[in-house]
Amino acid sequence: MTGQARTTPGAGPAWVRGGTGGGAGNASLDVDALLTDPDTQIIVCCGSGGVGKTTTAAALALRAAEQGRAVCVLTIDPARRLAQSMGLTELDNVPRPVAEAGAEGGGSLDAMMLDMKRTFDEVVEAHASPEKAKQILSNPFYVALSSSFAGTQEYMAMEKLGQLYDEAGAGSARAGKRWDLIVVDTPPSRSALDFLDAPERLSSLLDGRFIKLLLAPARGPARFLSAGFAIVTNALNKVLGAQVLSDVQTFVAAFDTLFGGFRQRADATFALLQAEGTAFLVVAAPDPDAMREAAYFVERLTHEDMPLAGLVVNRVTDLPAAAMLDASEAESAARTLDSGAETDQQVAGLLRVHAERMLVRAREQKLKRSFSAAHPAVATVSVPALAGDVHDLEGLRQIGALLTA
Amino acid sequence: MTGKGGTGKTTVAAALAISLATRGRKVLLCEVEGRQGIARLFDVPPLPYEEREIGVGHGGGQVYALAIDAEAALMEYLAMYYKLGRAGKALDKFGVIDFATTIAPGVRDVLLTGKVYEAGRRRGKDGGYSYDAIVVDAPPTGRISRFLNVNNEVAGLAKVGPIRKQADAVTTMMQGRRTAVHLVTVLEEMPVQETLDAIADLRSADLGVGNVIVNQVRQSPLTPPAQDAIGSGRLDAAAISASLAKTSIGASAELGVGLLEEGAAHAVRQELQTDQRKVLAGVDTQVIELAYVSEGIDMGALYDLALSLREQGLQ
């Protein structure tokens, strides 16, 4: 696997500790080693919705910055208060420094929120003549494509990553690079890893037969006017109406010059994701759905030769303080105390809180064990659940510490 | 049925379908995101693009399920309204179907909601509606208004023509009084905030908001006085140890300290839930609560949730 290029034969990468998948559970993921390795240039956090991906990305970025790295974090749709805590008050598609973060250790942190439409507009502006760009940007087909096409957000997230990477600058890690680590959050895709498919899907569609067919009249001689073509255009006119078809044709004709550029960029982004300096982290929560999604992500990334660094399981129930007491014993003692005095009943309540926690923990452990059994090679780190939500730098720091504990 | 990812909207949609399928009523449960969540929940093989009976409700009602697929819906639409047998195949061969369902803006949503529209208006041989109710496991809160307000989506694209007409008809049904959007949430800050945002979006798009359904609510084993006693220090490790002495566990100061610590952490989590409940209390729609099912969702649990919905007036 190209993704494992940093692995020397016989030894795992620097950020994998212990465990060989020999049945004793998975290797643990040493997040600090991953963050401080100067060869780590891009970290991609992916996973299903609602598992704490954005928070994980932000916490990783902050921790790396505080360990001296020049970091840029690209978030997709952060919770309002978390965004504010990082100074992301406006969505202007430009990375902004997060005040004070990392300054002490000689590092820095910039953060930005993705503006999908703006990113798309910029791509068009960069690749077309001003006149043509204007024509494209005002085409209703383009407007809808850039603001609501199901894969656009995924595609633009990766496009932005490519831009940031270029902007980070060439040269050695210490020699005046703007950033030496980029951390990306990914959109909560309906189907896992849409962001990997989106560029390919878009470009294959734009290269497809239909587009060629639509372009045919614009390109002159009616040599495409076969029986098939007539059937298709008639059908389209009937279903879409002539105006839509002509809009599509204008759009496609205007976009024609960009196709080559798109395909090239999609290929470049894909190569960047597969590169040695990239590390994918799959983020999950300890519930059956999220773990099943995580398994799918892991398989898909492996299949695509993407450099998978490991799995982060968020919001895990940590070992309760009274762990020496098992759940059934606690429950039966609680029943004994139910009929007692007020204090006894309160203690019964405490015993039930404990029993519940032990059971939840046991279920989570079982889920993690099944995952390890199926994916023994994936290094894993568990992050205990905090009581409240994270919405300030202090909270991110706490998550960062838990990620590396 | 919409909700933020991870709140259990598919589960609640299924429970609602079962709840509606009482006394001989026939309900269609649809999914539109290609996740096969319904099949997984009911433990049946992946659903095809075909309505299938998957469960019964109390008193002989029936639940049918359908996984709506945009490409299949488009082919069906073309065949049904335009009699495009051969042309339909030609369109597919030329990649038009692919283009229309993946890249053409709004068309995908028109097709998905259009199928719901068709099922909702379909009549059987006896002249009555084929289904008494349709439950859609819809896209998440962030996308729901755009999904249902298809009219808006295609407005910039098609000002006249059949697609526009179809979109208009669908929008009229979605905005009508027979459609309600229920929102599933859990008692956490982000999902609650998204629920409030979605309600505002839905209202400004003239879409009817149904109930807010708070899912996975955990009852605390600690009564409010017990929480007070822990918070104020009245219940200390020694007192706990004394109570434990009356049980098979026996006195243990160490356990007392541990249990107190767990109790305090529990109280913090409860308080956060209470805060979110207060936020939801400000919403002017009915809020329904569903208890957390610790053993995982199986058929039995779905029927329990359905009963709970019915008892709270959702049926």
Give the model's pLDDT for residue A24. 46
B70: region left, alpha or beta (phi > 0 left; psi from -120 to 50 alpha): alpha
Q: Which residue has the higher pLDDT, A66 or A10?
A: A66
Q: Judge: B94–A228 Cβ closer than 8 Å, yes or no.
A: yes
DSSP A310-335: EEEEEEEPPPPTTTTS-HHHHHHHHH
Q: Which residue has the higher pLDDT, A256 or A285?
A: A285
Q: Judge: A322–B262 Cβ closer than 8 Å, yes or no.
A: yes
Tell whether A352 lies on the interface with B, counting CB pairs under 8 A. Answer: yes
The three-class DSSP label of residue A356 is: helix
Q: Judge: B249–A325 Cβ closer than 8 Å, yes or no.
A: yes
Question: Using a CB-CB distance cutoff of 8 angstroms, which residues of chain B are in contact with residue A344?
Answer: 243, 246
Tell whether B260 lies on the interface with A, counting CB pairs under 8 A. Answer: yes
Longest dimension (CA), chain A: 96
Q: Judge: A336–B189 Cβ closer than 8 Å, yes or no.
A: no
Q: Which residue has the higher pLDDT, A253 or A124?
A: A124
Nearest CA in chain A to B4: A50
Model's pTM, two decimal places? 0.83
- At B37, list the tokens: 């969540």
Which of A148-162, A267-281, A323-337 has the least mean pLDDT?
Answer: A148-162
With b for 16 or more beta-carbon neighbours within 10 A and e for fewer, the A31-65 pattern comes to bbebbbbeebbbbbbbbbbbbbbbbbbbbbbbbbb
Structurally, at CATH architecture level, domain B2-218+292-311 sits in 3-Layer(aba) Sandwich (3.40)
Q: Averaged over B195-209, what is the pLDDT?
A: 95
Residue A11: pLDDT band with limits 50, 70, 90: low
For an interface test with B, the pick among A153, A240, A318, A350 (most B C-beta atoms closer than 10 Å) comes out as A350
Nearest CA in chain B to A141: B157
Tell whether B193 lies on the interface with A, counting CB pairs under 8 A. Answer: yes
For an interface test with B, the pick among A81, A84, A239, A392 (most B C-beta atoms closer than 10 Å) comes out as A239
Distance CA A116, CA A154 (A): 9
Question: Using a CB-CB distance cutoff of 8 angstroms, which residues of chain A are in contact with residue B262?
Answer: 320-322, 350, 353-354, 357
Secondary structure E strands in A30-115: 42-46, 70-75, 96-97, 108-113
User: Residue A352: CB partners within 8 Å, gap ≥ 6?
Assistant: A330, A331, A334, B221
A356 to each of A317, B142, B217, B262, B299, how far by Cα in Å? 11, 33, 14, 11, 23
- At A400, list the tokens: 């960062």
For residue B23, the distance in angstroms to the closest alpha carbon of chain A comes to 33
Q: Averaged over A283-291, what is the pLDDT?
A: 91
Give the model's pLDDT for residue A23. 45
For residue A37, the distance in angstroms to the closest alpha carbon of chain B comes to 33
Q: Judge: A235–B161 Cβ closer than 8 Å, yes or no.
A: no
Give the model's pLDDT for residue A85. 78
Q: Judge: A144–B190 Cβ closer than 8 Å, yes or no.
A: no
Is the confidence at residue B153, as pLDDT, over 90? no
Distance CA A143, CA A14 (A): 46
Q: Which residue has the higher pLDDT, A20 or B116?
A: B116
Give the model's pLDDT for residue B285. 93
Tens-digit pLDDT profile for residues B233-277? 899 999 999 999 999 999 999 999 999 999 998 988 888 899 999
Cβ neighbours, 10 Å, residue B300: 10
Q: Averaged over B25-46, what is the pLDDT?
A: 92
Tell whether A350 lies on the interface with B, counting CB pairs under 8 A. Answer: yes
Tell whether A216 lies on the interface with B, counting CB pairs under 8 A. Answer: no
Give the model's pLDDT for residue A2. 42
Residue owning tokens 């030609």: B90
- At B243, list the tokens: 């109570």
Q: Judge: B262–A241 Cβ closer than 8 Å, yes or no.
A: no
B99 closest CB neighbour out of A210, A287, A389? A210
Is the confidence at residue A20, as pLDDT, over 70? no
Residue B104: pLDDT band with limits 50, 70, 90: low
User: Residue A259: CB partners within 8 Å, gap ≥ 6?
Assistant: A203, A206, A207, A211
Q: Judge: A337–B230 Cβ closer than 8 Å, yes or no.
A: no
Do A85 and A100 touch, CB atoms closer than 8 A? no
A334: region left, alpha or beta (phi > 0 left; psi from -120 to 50 alpha): alpha
Q: Which candidate, B175, B137, B147, places its Cα nearest to that of B34? A: B137
Is the confidence at residue B134, as pLDDT, over 60? yes
Phi and psi angles of residue B43, each rounded to the nearest 5 degrees, phi first = 55, 50
Question: Using a CB-CB distance cutoff of 8 angstroms, which residues of chain A are in contact with residue B192?
Answer: none
B163 to each of B56, B143, B300, how far by Cα in Å? 36, 21, 43
Distance CA B101, CA A193 (A): 19
The three-class DSSP label of residue A3 is: helix
Phi and psi angles of residue A192, each rounded to the nearest 5 degrees, phi first = -50, 140
Tens-digit pLDDT profile for residues A369-405? 999 999 999 999 999 998 777 888 999 999 999 999 8
Distance CA A178, CA A176 (A): 6
DSSP chain B: -EE-TTS-HHHHHHHHHHHH--TT-EEEEEE-SS--HHHHHHT-SPP-SS-EEEEE-GGG-EEEEEE--HHHHHHHHHHHHH--HHHHHHHHHTTHHHHHHHTSTTHHHHHHHHHHHHHHH-B-TTSSBS-SEEEEEPPPGGGHHHHH-HHHHHHTT-SSSHHHHHHHHHHHHHHSTT--EEEEE-SSHHHHHHHHHHHHHHHHTTPPEEEEEEEEEPPPSS-HHHHHHHHHTSS-HHHHHHHHTTSSS---HHHHHHHHHHHHHHHHHHHHHHHHHHHHHTSSS-EEEEE--TT---HHHHHHHHHHHHHTT--
Q: Judge: B239–A244 Cβ closer than 8 Å, yes or no.
A: no
A354 closest CB neighbour out of B98, B262, B269? B262
Is the confidence at residue A94, as pLDDT, over 50? yes
Tens-digit pLDDT profile for residues A186-200? 877 655 466 667 666
Do B40 and B228 touch, CB atoms closer than 8 A? no
Q: Judge: A350–B259 Cβ closer than 8 Å, yes or no.
A: yes
A353 closest CB neighbour out of B188, B221, B235? B221
B158 closest CB neighbour out of A208, A211, A241? A241
For residue A46, the distance in angstroms to the closest alpha carbon of chain B comes to 14
Q: Averaged over B170-184, what is the pLDDT?
A: 94
Q: Averaged over B73-93, what is the pLDDT?
A: 74
Question: What CATH number matches the domain at A25-403, 3.30.430.20, 3.40.50.300, 3.40.50.2300, 2.60.120.650?
Answer: 3.40.50.300
Tens-digit pLDDT profile for residues A326-380? 999 999 999 999 999 999 999 999 999 999 999 999 999 999 999 999 999 999 9
Give the model's pLDDT for residue A135. 84
Residue A21: pLDDT band with limits 50, 70, 90: very low
DSSP structural state of residue A261: H
Residue A1: pLDDT band with limits 50, 70, 90: very low
Distance CA A259, CA A236 (A): 23
Q: What percent of chain A has pLDDT over 90?
A: 39
Tell whether B255 lies on the interface with A, counting CB pairs under 8 A. Answer: yes
Question: Could you give the angle at which helices B162-175 and A227-240 cross, rounded to 10 degrees?
Answer: 40
Selected residues 87-106 of chain B with any CB under 8 Å from a CB in chain A: 87-88, 90-91, 93-96, 98-99, 102-106
Q: What percent of chain A has pLDDT over 70?
A: 78
Beta bridge partners of B64: B28, B53
How many CA within 13 A on the CB side of residue B112?
A: 26
DSSP A116-152: HHHHHHHHHHHHS-HHHHHHHHH-HHHHHHHHH-TTH
Which of A181-190, A252-261, B110-119 has the least mean pLDDT?
Answer: A252-261
Q: Averaged over A76-104, what is the pLDDT?
A: 78
The residues spanned by each domain of chain B are: 2-218+292-311, 220-278
N residues, chain B: 315
What number is the ipTM of this complex?
Answer: 0.80
Distance CA B131, CA A291 (A): 36
Q: Judge: B84–A289 Cβ closer than 8 Å, yes or no.
A: no
Return mean pLDDT, chain A: 82
Is the confidence at residue B308, as pLDDT, over 70? yes
Give the model's pLDDT for residue A208. 65
Cβ neighbours, 10 Å, residue A27: 22
Cα–Cα–Cα angle for A346, B277, B3, rounded to 5 degrees: 125
A49 closest CB neighbour out of B82, B140, B163? B140
Q: Judge: B91–A232 Cβ closer than 8 Å, yes or no.
A: yes
Tell whether A354 lies on the interface with B, counting CB pairs under 8 A. Answer: yes
Q: What percent of chain B has pLDDT over 90?
A: 59
Is the confidence at residue B129, as pLDDT, over 90? yes
Give the model's pLDDT for residue A168. 83
Q: Which candidate, B187, B144, B211, B201, places its Cα nearest to that of B273? A: B187
Residue A170: pLDDT band with limits 50, 70, 90: low
Question: Using a CB-CB distance cutoff of 8 angstroms, which residues of chain A are in contact with residue B4?
Answer: 49-50
Which of A203-217, B56-70, B195-209 has the least mean pLDDT?
Answer: A203-217
Tell whether B232 lies on the interface with A, counting CB pairs under 8 A. Answer: no
Give the model's pLDDT for residue A5. 44
